[in-house]
Copies of this chain bind each other. A is one copy, B any other.
Amino acid sequence: MGGQLRAGGAGTTRDTLLAAAYAVIRRDGFKGASLDDILAGAGLTKGALYHHFSSKQALGYAVLAEIIEPYVLDFWLSPLALCDDPIDCMHSVIGQACEEIDGEELALGCPLNNLAQEMSPVDEVFRTGIDRIYRLWREGIADALRTGMRKGHVRADIDADRAATFIVAAVEGSIGLAKNAQDPEILRHCCAGLAQFLDGLRQGDRPMPVEGRG
C-alpha cells in the first residue's frame, strides 16, 4: 500500500483522523460523535475521511485497534514484563493511574470501558475487538502472576486467570465509578481496595493491614 511511503514519518492524515476521532469519541461516545466534529478537530473534510475509511464504523474499529489497544496494553502490560514482583509492579501501575487520571481526564473515564458499555450490545465487531483487548490484558496479568508464583512472590494456591479477571474488572469498575462521581477521592479509595486485594495474593499469607482511616 501507499502507506509504506510515509510509514517512516509520523503525522499522516490517517493518524490525524484517528487522533481526532479518538478525542471526540472519548468525549461524546461513538454514536454521539459527529463526523463533522471529528473533521473540524482534524482540520479535514468529508473527502479525506472517506478516502481512508469506508464508514464511521470502520473509523471506530481503527481507533479501537490502533489507538486504544496499544495504549491499554502498553500502559498495563509492558511494566509487568520488566518487573520482578508482579504485585509490586501492579501497585505502582495502579498508583500511576490514580495520579494521571485527574481533572478533565477523570470525567472522561476509560476509553476502552466507555466503548464496551456503549457498543458491545449493538455491534458485534466492536464487541469482538474489545473482547480481544480485555483477553490480552487478563492473560498478561495472569502470566505475570504465574511467573511470580514460580519466583515465590505470589501465593501458589490461587487461580491466576480468575485473579487477573477480577483485577481487570475492579480497575474498570473503579475508573467508571470515579468518572461518574467526578471525584478523585473515589478513585483513590477504590485503588486502596484493589491494593488490599493484591496484597492478599502475596506469598506469606497474611494480608497487609489496611492503612488507617482517612
Contact = CB atoms under 8 A, between A and B. Distances in A.
A77 interface: no
A100 interface: no
A120 B179 contact: yes
A210 B206 CA distance: 14
A173 B159 CA distance: 19
A121 B134 contact: no
A132 to B, nearest CB: 11
Contact of A163 (B28, B182, B193): B193
Interface stretch (A8-16, A57-65, A83-91, A105-113): A105-113
B180 A166 contact: no
A28 to B, nearest CB: 7
A131 interface: yes
A209 B197 CA distance: 13
A204 to B, nearest CB: 12
B190 A166 contact: yes
A56 interface: no
B177 A168 contact: yes
Interface string A89-132: 00000000000000000011100011011101110000100110
11 contacts: A117-B117, A118-B118, A120-B180, A120-B182, A130-B180, A159-B189, A159-B213, A166-B193, A169-B174, A169-B177, A207-B207
Shortest Cβ-Cβ A-B pairs, 8 listed: A173-B173, A166-B193, A169-B173, A117-B117, A162-B189, A116-B180, A169-B174, A120-B180
Interface of A: 27-29, 31-32, 107-109, 113-114, 116-118, 120-122, 127, 130-131, 134, 157-159, 161-163, 165-174, 176-177, 179-182, 186, 189-190, 192-194, 196-197, 200, 205-207, 209-210, 212-214
